């Protein structure tokens, strides 16, 4: 039997989350929902992909999150000439006790938080170097597996694929990201605050918001958030409905979606919804938490038909259609329960 969180535990979790959220909002002005989604993804212990035009503050936000969480941080600038070994590390010939032997030299991937900056500007071969790290939290080089530090996060930024010199990420790699979040432009009021309060656009200094012990405590509190079976069933039905062959499938989905989301998508929604519930001050996941995280958790996992893409249909629009059409409960509630 699952033990419900106490009010004190919920308040403690919300207070820890608020510290990180407030720090992020101080760095990136006017992007409260973006910051919330980043905090939710990290507390769900998932990887995050940020997509947006250059100059919107993606890199500064990731750097700030690393400082706020007190994590070891490494940045890798992805370029077309970057090699897999430049990311993972590799063997180096060294002489010890009169003998020469290959010794593994860890690359920048060996950190708690790795910023893969402009990840889609590197070749697919280099992009694939992250696949094992993101799923297994380990790197295998020349048949030897090396564990990565815990916790381990990849926060990647990418430019829209329409820009020159970009390579689209393969579906298998996109599926490893818990969230893909679009970074929107800000309005004139926010730009005015930046121009009047930040010379050369430099963000304010960021102090560590959580100690290592507090971060571990926060992870435990997120894990303790209760996921009711009815809410889990709703998340499962949302994911199942992305497949055209699903029973009772929607015609709009069948016309637009070539391949639906994997089981990893359902897991991502469940874990992210737990963090979203704690951020809202609830000890259990609500239907609203699932709806809040559905688009960033699902949209990047859908592969659309070419005709749908040409017609202007987006994966995010498909997920919003599912949220409108898939009922939150699988069957009508009895009169006594209403």
pLDDT range class, residue 162, cuts 50, 70, 90: low
Percent of the chain with pLDDT over 70: 95
Return the CATH number at 283: 1.10.8.80
Tell me whether residue 11 is in a domain.
yes
Neighbouring-strand partners of residue 89:
106
Tell me whether residue 101 is in a domain.
no
Range of the domain at 196: 1-85+111-224
User: What string of DSSP letters covers 3-72?
Assistant: PPPPHHHHHHHHHHHHHHHHHHHHHSTT-HHHHHHHHHHHHTT-EEEEE--TTSSHHHHHHHHHHHTT--
pLDDT, position 337: 43
Both 260 and 242 in one domain: the answer is yes
Residues 240-253 have pLDDT tens digits of: 999 977 776 788 88
pLDDT, position 165: 66
Task: Dig out the tokens for 48 from the structure.
Answer: 């995050």
Q: What is the mean pLDDT of residues 126-149?
A: 86
Domain boundary among 170, 195, 224: 224
Both 145 and 282 in one domain: the answer is no
Residue 334: pLDDT over 70: no
pLDDT, position 131: 85
Residue 309 or 273, more confident: 273
Tell me whether residue 250 is in a domain.
yes
Both 218 and 270 in one domain: the answer is no
Both 220 and 167 in one domain: the answer is yes
Into how many domains does the chain fold?
A: 2
Residue 192: pLDDT over 80: yes
Q: What is the mean pLDDT of residues 191-217?
A: 87
Both 69 and 200 in one domain: the answer is yes
pLDDT, position 56: 82
Task: Dig out the tokens for 142 from the structure.
Answer: 């020349």
Residues 68-86 have pLDDT tens digits of: 998 889 999 988 888 888 9
Both 237 and 207 in one domain: the answer is no
Tell me whether residue 306 is in a domain.
yes
Both 234 and 201 in one domain: the answer is no
Tell me whether residue 91 is in a domain.
no
Both 194 and 284 in one domain: the answer is no
Question: For all residues of the chain together, what is the average pLDDT?
Answer: 88
Both 204 and 233 in one domain: the answer is no
Tell me whether residue 95 is in a domain.
no
Tell me whether residue 90 is in a domain.
no
pLDDT, position 161: 64
Return the CATH number at 67: 3.40.50.300
Domain boundary among 194, 224, 254: 224
Tell me whether residue 97 is in a domain.
no
pTM of the complete model:
0.87
Residues 91-121 have pLDDT tens digits of: 888 877 778 887 888 889 999 999 998 888 8
Domain boundary among 207, 224, 241: 224
Q: What is the mean pLDDT of residues 307-331?
A: 89
pLDDT, position 281: 93
Residue 332: pLDDT over 70: no
Q: What is the mean pLDDT of residues 215-237?
A: 95
Residue 338: pLDDT over 80: no
Both 230 and 211 in one domain: the answer is no
SS3 content of the chain, % helix, strand, coil (to 5): 50, 15, 35
Residue 314: pLDDT over 50: yes
Both 251 and 207 in one domain: the answer is no
Contact (CB, 8 A) for 256 and 318: yes
pLDDT range class, residue 181, cuts 50, 70, 90: very high
Q: How far apart are CA 2 and CA 72, in angstroms?
A: 34
Both 151 and 27 in one domain: the answer is yes
pLDDT, position 140: 85
Q: How far apart are CA 10 and CA 179, in angstroms?
A: 24
pLDDT range class, residue 22, cuts 50, 70, 90: very high
């Amino acid at each position: 039997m699952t033990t419900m969180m106490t009010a004190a535990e919920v308040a403690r979790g919300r207070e820890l989350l608020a510290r990180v959220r407030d720090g992020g909002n101080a760095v990136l002005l006017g992007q409260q929902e973006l910051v919330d989604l980043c905090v939710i993804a990290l507390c769900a212990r998932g990887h995050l992909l940020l997509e947006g035009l250059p100059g919107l503050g993606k890199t500064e936000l990731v750097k700030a999150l690393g400082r706020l969480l007190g994590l070891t941080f490494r940045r890798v600038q992805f370029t077309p000439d970057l090699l897999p070994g430049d990311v993972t590390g590799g063997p180096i010939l060294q002489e010890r006790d009169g003998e020469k032997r290959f010794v593994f030299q860890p690359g920048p991937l060996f950190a708690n938080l790795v910023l893969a900056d402009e990840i889609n500007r590197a070749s697919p071969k280099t992009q694939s170097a992250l696949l094992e790290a993101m799923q297994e939290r380990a790197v295998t080089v020349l048949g030897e597996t090396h564990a990565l530090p815990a916790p381990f996060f990849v926060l990647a930024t990418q430019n829209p694929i329409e820009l020159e010199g970009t390579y689209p990420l393969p579906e298998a790699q996109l599926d490893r990201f818990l969230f893909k979040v679009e970074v929107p432009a800000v309005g004139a009021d926010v730009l005015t605050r930046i121009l009047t309060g930040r010379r050369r656009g430099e963000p304010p200094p960021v102090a560590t918001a959580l100690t290592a012990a507090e971060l571990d405590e926060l992870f435990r509190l997120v894990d303790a958030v209760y996921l009711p079976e009815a809410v889990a069933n709703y998340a499962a039905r949302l994911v199942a409905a992305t497949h055209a062959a699903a029973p009772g499938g929607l015609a709009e989905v069948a016309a637009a979606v070539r391949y639906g989301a994997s089981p990893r998508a359902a897991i991502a929604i469940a874990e992210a919804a737990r963090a979203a519930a704690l951020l809202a001050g609830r000890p259990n996941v609500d239907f609203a938490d699932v709806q809040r995280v559905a688009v960033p958790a699902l949209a990047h996992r859908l592969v659309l038909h070419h005709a749908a893409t040409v017609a202007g249909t987006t994966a995010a629009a498909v997920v919003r259609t599912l949220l409108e059409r898939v009922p939150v409960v699988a069957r009508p509630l009895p009169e006594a329960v209403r």
